[in-house]
Structure 1
Amino acid sequence: MSNYTILIIEDEPTINRIVSNYFLKEKFTVLSALDGFKGLQLFSHNKVDLVCLDIMMPNVNGWDVAKTIRETSNVPIIMMSALSEEEDILKGYSLRVDDYITKPFNPKILVAKVKTLLDRLQNQDFTTQTSGVLEIKGIKINLDTHKVYIENNQIDLSKTEFDLLKYFLEHETKICSRNLLLDEVWGIDVYVEDRIVDTYIKKLRKYLGPKSHYIKTVFGVGYRFEALDE
């Protein structure tokens, strides 16, 4: 893990220091900021592999930091916040963050989540180096560049959105339960509520536009991707 750089944006000095030390013990390179503005500065001037992001911060809050990062980057983001209401968690995922962990939390759990996410990214990059393009009736995804095109128009997806669409294209007509999609896309070692699948399906349908009907709801079971003749 020594090749990875983690950016921790957390305004509580004690939490920032403790989390930073846990990552340092695991041989990560750690950058840290005590407010959102400084965090964005560090992000823009360094190669960052993953961001651990608090929400309630001075100057620039975590919501705005996530929005700003997503304007230019699909770098993995894990939000860590005392805001534990469902609407807050769903808001985080609507901003295309990759995970949301509520305070108080065990720093070991956060480190484990980061390792799992980065390992999955690394393995994906390795396995798709020469795998080329997936294309089904107006939907094309380039596995090398992680770019997605709908009727030749490029759309920007987060890593999780990309992985979900890729899984659907690779398993056309297969009925996929929410639990299956959680295991295959988010990973068996990552805990998220199964309703998050519905949120991401809704987002994917919006991105797909006229192709949104390809994602079928199988009531009581889950979803099926089926590119029918038009």
Structure 2
Amino acid sequence: MPNETILVVDDEANIRDLARLYLEKDGYRVILAQDGAQALKLVQDNELALMVLDLMLPEVDGWEVCRRVRTDSNLPILMLTARDDDIDKIVGLEMGADDYLTKPFNPRELVARVRAILRRTTDSASGNASDDVRQIGTVTIDPKSREVMADGKRIPLRTKEFDLLLTLADHPNIVLSREQLLDLVWGYDFYGQTRTVDVHIAHLREKMGDSVTIETVWGMGYKLVTA
């Protein structure tokens, strides 16, 4: 959506400037931060649509920025990592990042990732999916309020965790591949890198406990078992 504000956080001026150039060409308003402390202040002082966040930052690193933002906000976060290292990506995703991009990156891919994250966020907020409440055993999933109740208790889920559970609930007892889940929940593929689905499934299982059964079908994907 035009004029949405994107915060780009990176200690390398050329990365910040390149990201701003391409994002502004695509119609976004862009503000910049060069360290984690500055980023946290800008998050507080601005109405942001998304944050592009480098992990390796001075003052306060990207992991800590992500952790602090996630304590009280579902602001979409696209994290940047300088290494093609699974551990960086997994830790970032576990802390609540929505997506990752390895540096050096194609700026057009950055814009495509931003668009996809914002499209999914807008679709979720506007209720483009059916607003009907889903009932899975003792679990109630309400797309309008984006709340999940299990045995009468509210289960706090992050944005993508909720979207993932809703997608599985909409395909009960059907195996969905990681690639299908990436497309349905994130709105695009990860160019073959599907570990983010595994991380979010693990989070869902931990939070939902025995109230739902998400089965791993080895070599294929996952399914939500209802019978």
TM-score normalized by the length of structure 1: 0.90
**Structure 1 ranges of 4+ moved more than 4 A:** none
Aligned residues of 2:81 and 2:88 also touching (Cα < 8 A): no
Shift of 1:7: 0.9
Measure, in 1, the Cα distance between the counterparts of 2:167 and 2:141. 11
Shift of 1:108: 1.4
Structure 2 letter corresponding to 1:46: N
Q: Does 2:145 align with 1:145?
A: yes
Q: Does 2:100 align with 1:61?
A: no
Measure, in 2, the Cα distance between the counterparts of 1:199 and 1:190. 14
Distance 1:192 1:67, change over 3 A: farther
Aligned with 1:215: secondary structure? strand
Aligned residues of 2:54 and 2:62 also touching (Cα < 8 A): yes
Measure, in 2, the Cα distance between the counterparts of 1:128 and 1:19. 30
User: Percent identity between the aligned chains?
Assistant: 37
Q: Which blocks of at least 5 consecutive residues in structure 1 are unaligned?
A: none
Measure, in 1, the Cα distance between the counterparts of 2:224 and 2:66. 30
Measure, in 2, the Cα distance between the counterparts of 1:222 and 1:67. 29
Q: Which blocks of at least 5 consecutive residues in structure 2 are unaligned?
A: none
Structure 1 letter corresponding to 2:198: D
Shift of 1:76: 1.0
**Residue in structure 2 matched with residue 221 of structure 1 by the alignment:** 220
Within 5 Å, which residues of 2 pair with 1:54-203? 54-128=54-128, 131-191=131-191, 193-203=193-203
Measure, in 1, the Cα distance between the counterparts of 2:39 and 2:195. 30
TM-score normalized by the length of structure 2: 0.91
Measure, in 2, the Cα distance between the counterparts of 1:113 and 1:46. 22
Measure, in 2, the Cα distance between the counterparts of 1:191 and 1:162. 23
Measure, in 1, the Cα distance between the counterparts of 2:147 and 2:99. 22
Aligned with 2:101: secondary structure? strand
Aligned with 2:134: secondary structure? strand
Measure, in 2, the Cα distance between the counterparts of 1:198 and 1:187. 17
Aligned residues of 1:160 and 1:185 also touching (Cα < 8 A): yes
Aligned with 2:40: secondary structure? helix
Question: What is the total number of aligned residue pairs between the two structures?
Answer: 227
